[in-house]
Chains A and B, each alone.
Chain A
Amino acid sequence: MLSLNDARLRWNQIFDNFSSASSLKQAISEQLGAEDPCVAGLRSVCWKLFILYPSYTPQLWVPELRVHRSTYEALCTEHLTLIRGGTLGAPDIDPLAEDEGNPWEQYRLDVELRAEIMQDVERCMPDIEFFRQPTIQTKLCDLLMVYCKSADGKSLGYRQGLHELAAVLLWVVWNDAVEVKPPEEEKLETLDEKEDLMEVVLDGRFVENDTWALFCAVMKHAKEWYDAGPEGQSGCAPIVAKSKYIHEALLMATDPELAMHLKALDVLPQVFLIRWIRLLFSREFPFEDLLKVWDALFAEDTDLHLVDLVCVAMLLRIRWQLLEADYSTALTLVLRYPSPLDTPPATFVEDAIYLRDNLSSEGGNVIIQKYSKRTPSVASSNSRPTPPSRRRFAGRSTQQRTLSPSKSWTPASGIESIVQDVAKNVLSQSQRWGVNRAVRGAVEVRRSLAPSPGPPIPHPKNISSEEQELVKQNAKLIKRIAADEERQRTLARILELGMQAVENGNHAEGTRRLSHVKECLLDLTKVVNRSLLQQHVPVSLPGSPSPPLLSSPPIGTDDQGISATRTPNNAASGRPVIKKVAISPPGSFVKASFKNNSDPDFLSRTERPRTTLAQSSFAWMLGDDPAEKIKSSFVPKDKQGKRTGEAAKGKDGSMKANDIEDDVVDLGELGKMKGPL
């Protein structure tokens, strides 16, 4: 808390020296040192002006401040009365009645919630004595509880880390507060002097209220970082998608060498970015430095979008260490971030602003050079500067997977072994399988390209034809992977049904399903018989030419395309057979969204319907698939064309020729795929 005199000096420091919010923001971005309005003036007032009350004139925002304060009082009454030992309603209510309206039930939940919050509050910022005071801990706990129980945070509930965001805000508001003598309250209604205004704004009795208001404002944008994602599904949390975006798009754009290195090390970005982002870097820098980072952040960007690029700037600052690091060292660097010694951490925000306007490897180089006086090596800057991938690597949308080839599925002989092996691994392993093939194909293409200097983010319009080819091939790989995934999912389901049937004693039906799964796993071109997905399988005679395989609908929905492939058996006759090839429904494999992404076209471009690689003349890229080999390498080009023609005729013409033309992917995908190899 400040003395009235000190507070007045500081208050005047702001309102006498800075005539507008923009001049105030300007002053903060210039890092004036002792003149900094957040240091010499009042940080809490600056923050309130930046994120809570954009109108600069106190006479205009003080009424809003009053509304906030009374709202908080009301919420406290609503949500804290019970736990503070208030009335539990009529005395005749049975405390054990499992009735939703039973206040005792609510009381029990409140006690649990409070204990959960208090556990974190008690160990919050252990080095700062301020937070050890019971009154401060109670304030922090109360305001967190109100947030978690009221409309703002009810959907989120309490999440670890919220306590630390609130703690920083509380510290700042408390430090600037003044003790106001009660009689002053009478004068509040007739405000017209600066001095009175100041006392109202800094009134120590409302520290908790004001902190809560600031906290809600920060949480408006930070909330989704804490969102756990869809119930029961892991890895779908928005923070994971955000981390991936920071790594694979933003870092890839500014420092492809570093992005690929981290990828090659298999350092998962969310492992460290969860903490960096959720706590707004509060564990990464010393407290005083942290406050300046927040000053700069709030001054520049109240929506906190800049946070992503602050992370990139932090990675660029340690890029040389990271490039030399092995897995453990790299993780240690990012999880125990070496706070810069000679430059204040607020420069990360400055760098982030620069990167926002120069999101390219040139921009990245400027930042790297600025602090290390070293430029990324010729080799890395000469090789194609990998552009930011604005497109998700579709095959990895719902499940992350390792690209390690060492643990994959191998063809097994008997049904038993298939059941044992496949039941556990069918999804993940075969996905890896598909990805491996795709990655190898992509890397081959990439290697065959001579490095040529180009613009940092080539737009589809001005890239060379060679690159366009590469881009197309990449797009098709992605499609193929998606189709593979869909196929595996269907197989997994059939397998499950088969096992159920066996368990239920229906061996014939079970065996039919299991052997079909086996066949499909052994022969990648075999069309999955979707009729097996139904509980009662239509009977078909064993040994018959298996018409259901040809006549059953293809995997996925009706509007999918068809494509011609040749089964190995037919290869000898030279007569192509038209078969339906699984294509996942449009956009179905792009599940993890980037809804928190600031780039609006990012998402829309990921949701285009795609055809599979198998349908294209680039099917040779799936080299290690025997059937595909036959189709692509052993058949002259004209025949491939013919098959495509037949396919188009074969059904409703849903194989869209223009899919290939307009489906342009950024080159970044290839860069990303190269990483783990």
Chain B
Amino acid sequence: MPAIKKPMLKVIILGDSGVGKTSLMNQYVNKKFSASYKATIGADFLTKEVLVDDRLVTMQLWDTAGQERFQSLGVAFYRGADCCVLVYDVNNAKSFDTLDSWRDEFLIQASPRDPDSFPFVVLGNKIDVEEGKRQISQKRAMTFCQAKGGIPYFETSAKEAINVEQAFEVIARNALAQEESEEFSGDFQDPINIHLENESSGCGC
């Protein structure tokens, strides 16, 4: 991407099958909810332009198949991500338990420069479902996020558009910060320049 263009933020949404990744993305981008989204096969993609602190940025939102488990998209798909959104269903304990492995696997695949500071956001979705069905308490989720280095946590409902806008605002902000930090370090690490400099010396040591 040419540097003059407005920043393009790559956001990847991960989580078990059926937790509502597609719904959240569509609620955020299209302000629509459908109770019957088809299972995502491979990946899907939507973009949205947003203002972050008066800066216009384009968010490139990648919805992924919950069952895919990184197997088919290949590492190239995850590289260059600026933020990773981990989604679980508050009414499904198993989808919460797998968050950790989603996070770990993402870091392996995307291999960000600094894994410890790479921005994640956790979304506990489907809070509109009746309280009795809830399996993961807010406290438990927040404890997890705290333990993972203070990941921002939101409880959302894609169906009723609760907290979706707020969550994605943080996602955009953190992604932009990540993108800028990557850009900064990237400028100093251009291998071609280094080698051109070395060329005249004739010595590689």
Contacts and interface: CB of A to CB of B under 8 A. Distances in A.
Is the pairing of A and B real?
yes
Interface string B23-45: 00000000000101111111111
Given A161-B41, A433-B191, A522-B205, 10 more contacts: A120-B17, A229-B72, A240-B72, A271-B43, A283-B41, A327-B1, A402-B79, A408-B189, A523-B204, A568-B203
A168 B34 CA distance: 22
Chain B, interface residues (CB within 8 Å), range: 35 or more
A123 B38 contact: yes
B182 A335 contact: no
A239 B72 contact: yes
Closest 5 CB pairs of A and B: A274-B42, A235-B74, A624-B195, A126-B36, A400-B76
Contact of A626 (B45, B65, B72, B204): B204
Contacts of A126: 34, 36-38
A152 interface: no
A606 interface: no
A409 interface: yes
Nearest to B38: A123
A237 B71 contact: yes
Interface string A495-537: 0000000000000000000000000001111000000000000
Contact of B45 (A234, A335, A406): A335
A115 to B, nearest CB: 10
A571 interface: yes
A402 B80 contact: yes
A477 interface: no
Contacts of B199: 623-624, 626, 629
Interface string A260-282: 00000000101111110011000
B60 interface: yes
A307 interface: no
A271 B73 contact: yes
A160 B202 contact: no
A160 B66 CA distance: 9
A399 B39 contact: no
B41 A270 contact: no
Nearest to B190: A405
B204 A436 contact: no
A302 B65 CA distance: 28
A522 B8 CA distance: 34
Nearest to A119: B18
B67 interface: yes
A328 B186 CA distance: 23
Interface in A301-342: 327-328, 331-332, 335
A107 B191 CA distance: 57
A288 to B, nearest CB: 18
Nearest to A120: B39
A407 B192 contact: no
Contacts of A634: 202
Contacts of A524: 204
A569 B74 CA distance: 42
B186 A407 contact: yes
B195 A400 contact: no
Contacts of A406: 186-187, 189-190
A228 interface: yes
Interface string A624-641: 111101100010000000
B111 interface: yes
B67 A409 contact: no
Interface in A100-128: 116, 119-120, 123-126
A270 B198 contact: no
A224 to B, nearest CB: 12
Given A406-B186, A424-B113, A436 B205 contact: no
A125 B202 contact: no
A670 to B, nearest CB: 19
Contacts of A239: 72
Interface in A408-445: 408-411, 424-425, 428, 432-433, 436-437, 440
